[in-house]
Every structure is written in C-alpha cells, then in structure tokens.
Structure 1
C-alpha cells in the first residue's frame, strides 16, 4: 500500500479518501511517488506514460 497519493502527494490516510484523485488518475499519469512523496519526472507519449522517481525508479502506464 502506498503511504502517499500519487496524484496530489498528500497522505493516503486522509479523511476524504482521495476519491477525486482516484477518478482523475484513471486518465492521468502519477505525479508524486506513492512511497516517498517526491515529485516525479513524467513523460507522456501518444501510447502511454513513464514516471520516474529519483529514489524508487521508473513506472510505466
């Protein structure tokens, strides 16, 4: 489980449950690392996306 929301960077244990973030993430790549809350380098292409955290590496979608 991630400690931080990968869209807004706030702790996932927030009272609102990040429903708006989950809905937005269906169409957007992550912007923050869910493990360490660092802002990630994101590249969007016509066929997908790549997000890279300096500490935890790269993810694809």
Structure 2
C-alpha cells in the first residue's frame, strides 16, 4: 500500500493567504502587500496550513519550504 503524496504548499485548494497567513475567508484584499500583488514578493506562508515558510531568494527566483507540505520553487510555477 503506497501513501498518497502530500499536496504542496501552493497547490489548490488553498485555505490561507500565502502573503499574510490569514484564512482566505476573513482576509481583506487590502492586506496583501503591494509588492506581492505586483508579483515581486515570494509567498511567505503555506496556503494549505498557514505556517510560516522558510524562503530563500536567489538571483533567478526563490524557494519556499513548509515543514508539513514540502518545497516549491519559482521555476516550477513557470512550467504550469
């Protein structure tokens, strides 16, 4: 019996805001920073559990790691 893969921190359905950590149901759209709305800021919170992620910014992108839901790389998002 093989375990199902754990969904990544940015895979839908998202429950929390990736820039604020607030539940999407109560998050005010104005709470999202302007730099994030422009695509200049990497996600800081896991969209699945709301935990703060470890983010590494590189010259060519970023990586973000949730302790529960794994790692996502900005280059992976370009392929979708």
Tell me by how many angstroms 1:45 deviates.
Answer: 0.5
If the length of structure 2 is used for normalisation, what is the TM-score?
0.66
Greater helix share, structure number: 2
Tell me how large the CA RMSD over aligned residues is: 1.7
**Residues 1:45 and 1:12: Cα distance change in structure 2 (over 3 Å):** same
Structure 1 runs of 4+ aligned residues shifted over 6 Å read: none
- Aligned with 1:24: secondary structure? helix
**Distance across 2 between alignment mates of 1:56 and 1:41:** 12
Give 5+ residue unaligned stretches, structure 1. Answer: none
Q: If each structure's strand is expressed as a fraction of its own residues, which one has the higher value?
A: 1
| Structure 2 segments unaligned to the other structure (5+ residues) | 1-12, 75-80
Q: How many residue pairs were aligned?
A: 60
TM-score, normalised on structure 1?
0.84
